Amino acid sequence: MDKIWYLPPPTEDVHGDFGPYSVKELKAARKDLIKFVHESNGAVFQRVKAKCGILADGRRKISGLDMGNVPVDLEGAVSADDLNGSGSDVGGDVRTQGVKRKAEIPGSTQTNKKQAVDKKIIAYTCDLCDFTTEIYDEVDKHLQQKNHFSASMCHSSKENSVLKPKTLLKPLVVTNRSARFNNVIPTCPKCFAVYENINICNLHYQNTHEDNSDIYALSTVEETLWPKISNNNQCLKCGKNFAKTKSLHDHWRSAKHFPLREPKSNEIRIMICPHCERLFYDFFSCKEHIRHVHVDEIGSHAYSMKVLFLEKPTTSCHLLPSSPATTKNLVNKEIKMLTEMRKAAKKTPNSKHTVKAIRENIKLYKHYRKNC
């Protein structure tokens, strides 16, 4: 069997003479390429990386046969024998952060340190439950089956044959967009504001409530409603028509013909636009948003919105510890996404309030980024 080697992650260094091309520009291009390969975690891209032998921590797995076809520099490489302490490659991808082992000296503290490093495992953990696995396809399948929104990459260790997440490597590496605001939803434990993912929820908690704790909460969806609303000021419960929208709203209140019930004391009620997935806490704001922003989609017919009743959380959860760089990357990603949303909203008629709300969110994240 060909010997298996694990090459260290690629660097940004560029060596040699490349004629008219600037070494600085080549380094920048190489940096972007390495970043693209490392951060692309779609199902198709994961299969491509698996076939190329690219591991989750940036190293590359290569055999003696591959080295016969491709020139490979073995400087800094680690063989499977060195990692496993035997003469064979055992069990596919090696996820340990090992270095070449020297002869072990009984009682040596250096040996104990290396054994501790070898136990580090790169894994995927669901952000909304305790599910953790080393296999990308398994966590992707879990998100689909449990209707959970996201999973993160982390360093883990095995305790009694069970993977336990230890530190965060990269948030939101796997997402299930169909589960957004659907089943289990991150919630602020103090003001019960609702957010798409646990990281942004914690950023809100730290910035708004001036508390640097790494906590967030999770709310379970108790009930989902899709109330029908007429687009011509008609009460769909009794059939009465009204000349003004305000008259219809007054009738709903006085006749108790409101299209949906009030939340209980232990519930949170949120409204979601079915066209752009924007979240609202006020029914009338969501109703007017759909009527004016999505007028082409609804026409003159009755329309509906998604209404969720969530159970108020009673306990808090803690984020995995992470470096400041990881947090900044997450904030930058959110700022970029909000900027794109603002550009798209500007092209939509009657979107002044939407653009203003997005601008305020961008300002909030930029302020937080300065303090990271």
DSSP letters of 144-180?
HHHT--EEEEEEEEEETTEEEEEEEEEEEEEE-GGGT
Q: What is the pTM of this model?
A: 0.57
Assign residue 192 a region: left if phi > 0, alpha if psi is -120 to 50, beta otherwise? left
pLDDT digits (tens, 9 = 90+) for 138-185: 999 999 999 999 999 998 988 888 889 988 888 888 999 889 898 999
Least confident among 60-64, 219-223, 272-276: 60-64
pLDDT digits (tens, 9 = 90+) for 321-352: 875 555 666 677 777 777 877 777 777 666 67
For residue 25, pLDDT over 60 is answered with yes
pLDDT digits (tens, 9 = 90+) for 91-114: 334 333 333 333 443 444 444 444
Q: Quote the percentage of the chain above a pLDDT of 70.
A: 69
Rounded CA separation 190/225 (Å): 26
- Residue 170 · residue 206 · CB < 8 Å: no
